[in-house]
Amino acid sequence: MDMIDDPSEAGNSPEFSVTELSGAIKRVIEGEFGHVRIRGEVGRVSRPRSGHVYLDLKDDRSVISGVMWKGTASRLQTQPEEGMEVIATGRITTFGGQSKYQIVIEDIKPAGMGALMALLEKRKGMLQAEGLFDESRKRPLPYLPDIIGVVTSPSGAVIRDILHRLRDRFPRKVLIWPVAVQGERCAADVARAIAGFNAMTPGGALPRPDLLIVARGGGSVEDLWGFNEEIVARAAAASEIPLISAVGHETDTTLIDYVSDRRAPTPTAAAELAVPVRHELLAWLGGQGARMSQALSTTLVRRRQRLSDLGRALPRPEVLVEGPRQRLDVLGDRLGPALIAGVQRRKVKLSEASGSLRPATLRRTVQTARRDLDRLSARLAPALARAVAAKSERFTARTARFDPTALTAQTATARRDLDRLIAGITRAGQGQTQTLRRKIDAMDRLRETLSYKATLARGYAVVRGDGDVVTTKAGAKKAATLEIEFADGKLLVGGRASGAAPKKTAPKAPDQGSLF
């Protein structure tokens, strides 16, 4: 220190580069502390994915960083946890790049039994606080599991003890999941085995057990330590299959015992918890069969007894029918006489009726009827005559009332009326006729004045050919005969002449002739 403080002496000191100094320090420290044992409390622990473990070791005043390489860490029986009192073995190295030093830990162990127990207590407290130890979480074991999964070492006394005891009590199917039961692999193996059994399918190729036994024989606390690991306790708590823990001897209690559904003091005891005793069950079953038969026969006997009791209380059937039978007998006895009496009674009535049935009676009746007939027929002819006479009388009376004079008078009156009416009609008719005649005459005179005949008188003539008036010369030529009418008569031309043919008609004749 004095050398550095005193500049006057600087010239005599060799100069280091930083790296040289770091290297020098490294050599000194690693030479001096190549193998150390250090006791302290584990501080912060970090486990990056590289697998190396970084942790601090500390006491009340100082801290030293530590590193544990992957290979070392995986070999550890007890993994360091924060707060754990440990004794670490290793060497100190420096890290010149950062001016730091650290301890490379080659082994780390809890610092004695007390430290381990303290760790265990701490874990227990934590899991208990989470409720993993609660009685309510514990499931009942199946009475008779079909398949039992055993997590243990495949070699050794434990599995043999379990199998022997199972065989004695009730041989079952057993699946063994081989695990390391101590050492660094133990906890991971056991946790994986418990989870693995739970992952199986019931009835699958690897059939899922319906009961698990996690077993290990006795050993030191360190030997059993794997069963105190948190991952084991959590795997057991998560198991859906009921789980029996049987780790160590009766006095050893590990963390898994608190979370398992049942704790067995020994592996043998676990087998006893797992299955009932078969021959006891067979005996019990036989007993049940006997009880059942007994119960049924008791039932039958009791009912039979009851039936016969009731039967005795029943009256005899003969008694029930005695009365009616007696009545039947009595009535039966009366049946014959009653029939005879009935017939007798009818016979009497018949003879009574037939007594009055004689021919004289009939004859008398006939005679009476005949007399009535005679009497009535005697009255028949006079009655007819009387009836005719009465009707004739009525006829005559009616005819008398029929008088022809009245009719004649009526006819005469009617004739007079008729004559008078005829005379009236005749008069009226004559009057009317005269009037009409005068009108006709007047009109005829008018007609005469208007007639062509008057024209004839003035010198005109009418020519007719074959009866029809001819007005043309052609018509006149055609006619076989011509008739010329003059005022004083007709003249036939070409035949007999009835008069001289007027000249004026000549031009007409050819015209008339053309008509033919």
Where along the sequence are the contacts to other proteins (CB under 8 A)? 142-144, 146, 154, 159-160, 163, 166-167, 170-178, 188-189, 192, 196, 200, 205-206, 278, 281-282, 285, 288-289, 291-292, 295-296, 298-300, 302-303
Please give the Cα distance from 373 to 375 (Å, whole number).
5
Q: Give the shortest CB-289-to-other proteins separation in angstroms.
A: 5
Q: Give the shortest CB-92-to-other proteins separation in angstroms.
A: 37
Nearest residue (CB) to other proteins, 171 versus 495 = 171
Q: Give the shortest CB-155-to-other proteins separation in angstroms.
A: 9
Q: Give the shortest CB-77-to-other proteins separation in angstroms.
A: 19
Nearest residue (CB) to other proteins, 300 versus 348 = 300
Q: What is the DSSP letter of 226?
A: G
Nearest residue (CB) to other proteins, 8 versus 201 = 201
Three-class SS of 110-175 = ECHHHHHHHHHHHHHHHHHHCCCCCHHHCCCCCCCCCEEEEEECCCCHHHHHHHHHHHHHCCCEEE
Nearest residue (CB) to other proteins, 140 versus 404 = 140
Q: Give the shortest CB-144-to-other proteins separation in angstroms.
A: 4
E runs forming strands in 227-373: 243-247, 262-263
Q: What is the DSSP letter of 379?
A: T
Q: Give the shortest CB-178-to-other proteins separation in angstroms.
A: 6
Q: Give the shortest CB-236-to-other proteins separation in angstroms.
A: 17
CB 208 within 8 A of CB 242: no
CB 68 within 8 A of CB 57: no
H-run or E-run covering 93 = strand 85-95
Nearest residue (CB) to other proteins, 178 versus 183 = 178
Nearest residue (CB) to other proteins, 304 versus 439 = 304
E runs forming strands in 315-441: none
Nearest residue (CB) to other proteins, 105 versus 166 = 166
Query: Residue 490: how many CB atoms within 10 A of its CB?
Result: 14
Q: Which amino acid makes up residue 133?
A: F
Q: Give the shortest CB-86-to-other proteins separation in angstroms.
A: 28
Nearest residue (CB) to other proteins, 192 versus 453 = 192
Nearest residue (CB) to other proteins, 171 versus 459 = 171
Output the DSSP codes for 49-75.
TTS-EEEEEE-SS-EEEEEE-HHHHHH
Spacing of C-alpha 390 from chain mean position: 105
CA distances from 2 to 12, 15, 22, 243, 410 (A): 13, 16, 21, 73, 211
Please give the Cα distance from 260 to 214 (Å, whole number).
9
Spacing of C-alpha 325 from chain mean position: 67
CB 242 within 8 A of CB 141: yes
SS3 280: helix
Q: Give the shortest CB-30-to-other proteins separation in angstroms.
A: 38
Query: Quick one: CA dihedral 222, 228, 229, 231, positive or negative?
Result: positive
Nearest residue (CB) to other proteins, 297 versus 365 = 297
Q: Give the shortest CB-117-to-other proteins separation in angstroms.
A: 30
Nearest residue (CB) to other proteins, 148 versus 474 = 148
Three-class SS of 442-505 = HHHHHHHHHCHHHHHHCCCCEEEECCEECCCHHHHHHCCCEEEEECCEEEEECCCCCCCCCHHH
Residue 416: HSE in the Cβ half-sphere, 13 Å Cα cutoff: 6
Q: Give the shortest CB-240-to-other proteins separation in angstroms.
A: 17
φ, ψ of residue 298 in degrees (nearest 5): -60, -45
- CA torsion, ordered 259, 261, 265, 266, to nearest 10 deg: -110
Query: Residue 74: how many CB atoms within 10 A of its CB?
Result: 14
Q: Give the shortest CB-283-to-other proteins separation in angstroms.
A: 11
Please give the Cα distance from 145 to 207 (Å, whole number).
12
Please give the Cα distance from 105 to 116 (Å, whole number).
19
Nearest residue (CB) to other proteins, 163 versus 224 = 163
Q: Give the shortest CB-193-to-other proteins separation in angstroms.
A: 8
Nearest residue (CB) to other proteins, 163 versus 264 = 163
Q: Give the shortest CB-97-to-other proteins separation in angstroms.
A: 38
Nearest residue (CB) to other proteins, 166 versus 476 = 166
